[in-house]
Amino acid sequence: MRRLKIALMLWALVMSFRTMACASCGCSLNSDWGTQGLSTQAGWSLDERYDYLNQNQLWSGTGKISPRAALNTMNTQTNSSAEVEKFTKTQTLTSTLDYNDGESWGVSLVVPYINRSHSTLGTDSLDGYSAGPTTSYDSQATGMGDIRIIGRYYGLLEQKNFGVQLGFKLPTGKTNQLANDGVSVVDPGLQIGTGTTDLILGAYYHNNWNDNWGYFGQVLYQTALNLSTMAAGSYKPGNSLNLNVGVRYENYDWIMPTLQINSRVVKADSGDAADSYATGGTLIYLTPGAIFPVGQKTTIYSNIQIPIYQNVNGIQLIPQYIFSVGARFSFN
């Protein structure tokens, strides 16, 4: 009864929010049952995951920076004052439909639906706390993001606990968003889509130390294969490398505590429209979480990513935490 009450509370929380997906310097959380070694069952499954990411702290290098100090910093790309941003709130509902043959291969279709709002004081604020007369704007966008199709092959070892991944991110998200004033063009890095087709390569390994403890590791690399054309010119998101490691404790019937370390290294964006000064960096999160089984075919999980190291290029907005909650349904 206790397990059911907790599961219902978490599921109600999932369904009550509008949806979103992680921003370019956002989360690298692993919720893939296959790469974690939690499921090798043949058949279909559906995962619904909600992420909440509020980037509301100005950050330079490895530390905070005040809005006034940011205004007095030179953007080396434009040789003018750096932009003073207020916040970027992103909420994402990610739907993942997965098929596993149970022997050696599987494939996932990942569809994010994004709700993102942004506010900036611009580069001509008088004091770093009031809006600039010409370069400040607010924006709001909702829609489907860039879809990913990722295949995996895990038939290399007899234990089937090592796999390789190959996939693509498709340019399905819109890239023509304007600010709320209907005139200002939203930065390429804040658009719901990137306009590029990306190659995704990865590998993973999972195992158990004993009957109670399991662990996994995953590396995932993503690179854009082309330049996209935005209103302000060409754009290409920076290459990214995600490294995830995690452990889980399996001795309880109603809960499985988990702990991940999620790291993400992102290169600066490029192209005529790109902000090459204030994009890219290295981000590391400590991620405690829990998995709640509900019956034989439904599982609910929740995680909170806490930044433990952030080293960003230029001046960027970073979050204090990233919250995720989701549910997985098996159709076997």
pLDDT 10s digits, 236-277: 999 999 999 999 999 999 999 999 999 999 999 999 999 999
Q: How many domains does the chain have?
A: 1
Distances, alpha carbon 42 to alpha carbons 80, 101, 102, 161, 162, in Å: 57, 5, 4, 15, 17
For residue 24, pLDDT over 50 is answered with no
For residue 11, pLDDT over 60 is answered with no
**In the chain, what percentage of residues exceed pLDDT 70?**
92
Report how far residue 203's alpha carbon sits from residue 162's, in angstroms, rounded to the nearest whole number: 8
> Mean of the pLDDT values across residues 61-77?
95
Residue 12 has what pLDDT?
40
> Mean of the pLDDT values across residues 189-217?
96
Residue 270 has what pLDDT?
96
Q: Give the total residue count for the chain.
A: 332
Query: Can you give the residue range of the structural domain that contains 182?
Result: 2-330
> Mean of the pLDDT values across residues 281-304?
95
Q: Indicate the SS3 state at residue 123.
A: coil
Q: What is the domain-level CATH number for residue 180? A: 2.40.128.130
Cα-only R_g, the chain: 20
Residues with Cβ within 8 Å of 221's Cβ and at least 6 positions away in sequence, in order, are 200, 201, 202, 239, 240, 241, 242
Q: Is the dihedral of CA 318, 12, 327, 286 positive or negative?
A: positive
> Mean of the pLDDT values across residues 65-77?
94
Q: Is the CB of residue 280 less than 8 Å from the CB of residue 267? A: yes
Neighbours of 31 (CB within 10 A): 21
| Tens-place pLDDT, residues 139-153 | 999 999 999 999 999
Task: Look up the pTM and report it.
Answer: 0.90
Task: Give the largest CA-CA distance in the chain.
Answer: 65
